[in-house]
Amino acid sequence: MTPDSPSATPSRKDVRVVYRGPLLDLVYRAASVHREHNDPAQIQCSSLLNIKTGACPEDCSYCSQSAHNQTELGPEPLMETDEVIRAAERAKAGGADRFCMGAAWRGPRDGRDFNAVLEMITEVKALGLETCATLGMIDEGQATKLEEAGLDFYNHNLDTSPEYYPEIITTRTFDDRLETLAAVRKSGMKVCTGGILGMGESEEDRIGLIHSLASLDPHPESVPINALVPVPGTPLEDSESLPWDQMVRAVATTRIFMPEARVRLSAGRLSLSEEGQTLCFLSGANSIFLGDQLLTTPNVAPGSDTALFEKLGLDPLPVTSAIPV
């Protein structure tokens, strides 16, 4: 196959050759693919809210919310629905057209809390916002209920390559994540899955992550590319910053192999200069998160995004009106 033929499954060698090509050639190729399949001036702006914080039983090495890590973040219960709706209204007023809700669970348990999340989704959807949730592992029955409540996307990141995955998480497997994604796909929801770069993995692991994502059939509609934000009290607290060119290479390669996906420049943007972000947008990133915090890590100030968009001639997607009920 050729990497510009999205209907075929790429080999890992295909991904490796593209990822390791001359950087300027890679950016040019990705920009060309991006323009063929997307409006290069259009950026989707999302907002992310932590609806349930801390005490997660998973041992993800990067996460401030894991009960296994010694961070300063204390556990908090699930937010009340009206609090979530007010946050969604503020996000919409601030320019977001997509609202994501995250809960620090291994997976939701059927019952009061899960029913409350279903209500949140329905009410956020009624505001005219695209909806996304990340609640840990879910089965087919839960996925169906989420879809029926109005959830557009379910996020469940692969995080890293299959080979490096056990170095980052031991309480669930890479295959567990694939099973959740299969349940999401079967329900009719769109798949949001990506990874985190800069966790001590090799360049080959970054290639393996992108290969795993591009091997999903069909491709995920949404691919968040995150750079690690080291959190004190986690095993990765002393990690070195990811070189900017690796972020650009990951975005560009993702765009080439998944030409129609929404490629989300997500956590870790604070570590990228304006020039680095610009190369990512040129290479095919077409979504960002607004707000000064992503779950529990800092994010770029909204005013900075507005100024950069004006400088580059980028236009946020328009926010829709509320859905009639």
The residues carrying an active-site annotation are 56, 60, 63, 100, 132, 192, 264
Measured distance CA(129)–CA(121) in Å, rounded: 10
Closest Cα partner for 104 from 140, 62, 75? 75
How far the first Cα of the chain sits from its last, in Å, is 47
| Residue 276 near residue 243, CB atoms below 8 Å | no
Closest Cα partner for 136 from 98, 165, 167, 179? 179
Give Cβ neighbours of residue 62 (< 8 Å, ≥ 6 apart). Answer: 168, 196, 199, 228, 231, 234, 236
Residue with tokens 């997307």: 38
DSSP 270: G
Take residue 149 and report the two structure tokens written for it: 């409540």
